[in-house]
C-alpha cells in the first residue's frame, strides 16, 4: 500500500513556496494542515460563481449553494458512517462542537452533584467548556489520570464511573503525545453504566477511519482545517435521539419554524442547531477535502504516516539530549519532545529560519504538560505530503540549534 507522494505534493501550493529562502518542511499539521488546490478551487468557485446565501431564496445561485452545502453534509455522513444527515451539525470547529454539547446537553440533562468525566490529556477545548457548564449546573468534573507512557488509566476510569456520572468526554487522539486512546473500549465501559460519551476526534479524522456506528459514540467533534479543509468549519455528530432532546445552543435565523412575539418553534434536525448564515464557502471546501482524502485513500494515508512516524522517532531519538514525551502503544504521527539546554521557542525560531515549521509552547494542554513536569514542548506533526526529507531537515535543524547553543 504505497502513497504516490510526488503528485500529492504538487497539489499543495504552499509547498512550492520558499520560507526564508528555504524549501518548506511543514511539520505543524496537528495545528492545521495545508490545503490542496482542489479545496482552494472549490472555495474560490463558490465566491466567484455562486456566492449567495443558503436555504433562503429560489434564485439559481442560492439553489446551487444550498445543493453544494447539503451535498457536503451527505459526504460527511458517509465519511464517518453516521446513520443519517440529521445527525451531522455544521459548527465553526471542534471547539464550538464541544461547547454546543456542554451548553445544550449539560443544561438540558444534568443537575447539581452529577459528574462529568474527562481525562488529563485533554486539549483546553475539552476542559474549559465542561468546567463552565459544571459551575453553572453544580456538577463536578472528574479527571482520569494519564500514566508515564502517556496512556489513560482505564482501571481508574472504571473506578470513577458511578451512578452520578452523566457524561464522559475524551480525546480520540492526543494532540501532544499522539496517543490513540482505546475509545471503543471506553465507550463500551461507559455505556455499561448508561453514560453517553463524546469523542474529540480533532486529531483523528483524516488520519484514520472513523466509524461512529462501529464506535457507538454518542457525540463526535472534529474540525475541517485539520483534514486538508478550510478553517471556520467543524462537525458535531450526535445520535439523533440525543440531539432531538437537546435545546438549541444558539438561536436566530434559519433554525426556526415559526416566530411570534409570544412563542418560537424550531426546525427539525440538523437545522435546529445551525442558527445564522454559516461559513458556506468553507463547508463546500470541506466537501472537496473529503473527496481528496477518499481519492488518496485513508488506509494508504494511515499506513504511510505510520511508516514516516517510525522513521521520525528513530531519527529524533538518536539526537543526544532529546527526549520524546510519552511512548503510547498506539500512536498517531505526532511527536512532542524536550531538548536539553534549548527552550522550545528558541528551537522553533532557529528551525523557522531554515524553513522548518513546528509548534512550540503549551500546546493548549497545560494540565497534561504539568503532569509531565514541563511548561513548554516542541512538537512535530505529520501529514500526507511529508517525506523522510522533511524529517532529515528537522534533524539537521535541531543539530544546528544545538551548535548555536553549544549543547
Helices then strands, each counted (H, E), the chain: 14, 17
383 close to 34: Cβ distance less than 8 angstroms = yes
Interface of this chain with ligand C6P, residues 210 to 229, rule: CB under 6 A: 223
**Cα(first)–Cα(last) distance of the chain, in Å?**
41
Angle between helices 388-404 and 298-317 (to 10 degrees): 30
Between 5 and 31, CB nearer to ligand C6P: 31
Query: According to the binding rule CB under 6 A, does residue 33 interact with ligand C6P?
Result: no
Binding of ligand C6P at residue 202 (CB under 6 A)? yes
Burial 101-137 (b: 16+ CB within 10 A, else e): bbbbbbeeebeeebbbbbbbbbbebbbbbbeebbeeb
In the region spanning residues 303 to 322, those forming contacts with ligand C6P, defined by CB under 6 A, are: none
Q: Rounded CA gap, 286 and 319, in Å?
A: 39
Closest CA relative to residue 269, chosen from 88, 105, 58, 11: 88
Which residues 1-30 are close enough to bind ligand C6P by CB under 6 A? 30
Query: Could you tell me which stretch among 49-57, 89-97, 368-376, 398-406 binds ligand C6P (CB under 6 A)?
Result: 89-97
* Interaction of residue 128 with ligand C6P, rule CB under 6 A: no
> Closest distance between ligand C6P and the C-beta of residue 359, in Å?
5
Is 207 an interacting residue with respect to ligand C6P (CB under 6 A)? no
- DSSP letters of 297-350? -HHHHHHHHHHHHHHHHHHHHTSTTEEES---SSB-SEEEEEETTB-HHHHHHH
Which residue among 35, 43, 77, 93 contacts ligand C6P (CB under 6 A)? Answer: 93
C-alpha cell at position 320: 543526544
Which is closer to ligand C6P, CB of 179 or CB of 354? 179
Residue 316 CA to residue 309 CA, distance in Å, equals 10
Dist CA 269 CA 281 (whole Å): 21
Q: Which of 33, 95, 208, 360 contacts ligand C6P by CB under 6 A?
A: 95
Number of residues engaging ligand C6P in binding (CB under 6 A): 17
Q: Where does this chain touch ligand C6P (CB under 6 A) — which range of 137-145, 243-251, 339-347, 359-367?
A: 359-367
Q: Which residues are catalytic?
A: 364
Of residues 35 and 123, the one with the C-beta less far from ligand C6P: 123
Considering only residues 33, 165, 203, 336, which one is a binding residue for ligand C6P as defined by CB under 6 A?
203
In the window 168-197, what residues touch ligand C6P (CB under 6 A)? Answer: 171, 175
- 27 versus 190: smaller Cβ distance to ligand C6P: 27
Which residues bind to ligand C6P, rule: CB under 6 A? 30-31, 93-95, 123, 125-126, 171, 175, 200, 202-203, 223, 359, 363-364
Amino acid at each position: 500500500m504505497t502513497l504516490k507522494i510526488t503528485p500529492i505534493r504538487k497539489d499543495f501550493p504552499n509547498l512550492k513556496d520558499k520560507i526564508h529562502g528555504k524549501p518548506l518542511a511543514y511539520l505543524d499539521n496537528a495545528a492545521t494542515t495545508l490545503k490542496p488546490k482542489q479545496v482552494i478551487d472549490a472555495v474560490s468557485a463558490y465566491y466567484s460563481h455562486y456566492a449567495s446565501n443558503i436555504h433562503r431564496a429560489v434564485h439559481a445561485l442560492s439553489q446551487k449553494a444550498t445543493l453544494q452545502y447539503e451535498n457536503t453534509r451527505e459526504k460527511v455522513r458517509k465519511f464517518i458512517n453516521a446513520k443519517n444527515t440529521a445527525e451531522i451539525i455544521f459548527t465553526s470547529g471542534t471547539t464550538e462542537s464541544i461547547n454546543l454539547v456542554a451548553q445544550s446537553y449539560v443544561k438540558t440533562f444534568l443537575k447539581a452533584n452529577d459528574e462529568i468525566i474527562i481525562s488529563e490529556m485533554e486539549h483546553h477545548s475539552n476542559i474549559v467548556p465542561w468546567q463552565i457548564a459544571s459551575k453553572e449546573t453544580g456538577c463536578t468534573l472528574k479527571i482520569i489520570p494519564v500514566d508515564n507512557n502517556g496512556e489513560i488509566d482505564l482501571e481508574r476510569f472504571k473506578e470513577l464511573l458511578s451512578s452520578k456520572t452523566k457524561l464522559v468526554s475524551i480525546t480520540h487522539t492526543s494532540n501532544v503525545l499522539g496517543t490513540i486512546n482505546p475509545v471503543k473500549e471506553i465507550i463500551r465501559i461507559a455505556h455499561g453504566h448508561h453514560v453517553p460519551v463524546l469523542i474529540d476526534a480533532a486529531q483523528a479524522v483524516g488520519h484514520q477511519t472513523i466509524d461512529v456506528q462501529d464506535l457507538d459514540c454518542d457525540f463526535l467533534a472534529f474540525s475541517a482545517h485539520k483534514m486538508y479543509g478550510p478553517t471556520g468549519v467543524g462537525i458535531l455528530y450526535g445520535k439523533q435521539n440525543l440531539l432531538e432532546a437537546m435545546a438549541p445552543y444558539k438561536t436566530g435565523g434559519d433554525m426556526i419554524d415559526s416566530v411570534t412575539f409570544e412563542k418560537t418553534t424550531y426546525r427539525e434536525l440538523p437545522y435546529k442547531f445551525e442558527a445564522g448564515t454559516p461559513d458556506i464557502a468553507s463547508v463546500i471546501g470541506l466537501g472537496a477535502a473529503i473527496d481528496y482524502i477518499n481519492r488518496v485513500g485513508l488506509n494508504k494515508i494511515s499506513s504511510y504516516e505510520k511508516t514516516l512516524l517510525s522513521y521520525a522517532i528513530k531519527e529524533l531519538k538518536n539526537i543526544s539530549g532529546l527526549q520524546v514525551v510519552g511512548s503510547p502503544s498506539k500512536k498517531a504521527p505526532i511527536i512532542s519532545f524536550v531538548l536539553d539546554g534549548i527552550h522550545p521557542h528558541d528551537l522553533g525560531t532557529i528551525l523557522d529560519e531554515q524553513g522548518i515549521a513546528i509548534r512550540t509552547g503549551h500546546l493548549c494542554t497545560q494540565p497534561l504538560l504539568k503532569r509531565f513536569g514541563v511548561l513548554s514542548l516542541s512538537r512535530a506533526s505529520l501529514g500526507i505530503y511529508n517525506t523522510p526529507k522533511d524529517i532529515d531537515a528537522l534533524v539537521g535543524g535541531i543539530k544546528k540549534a544545538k551548535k548555536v547553543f553549544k549543547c
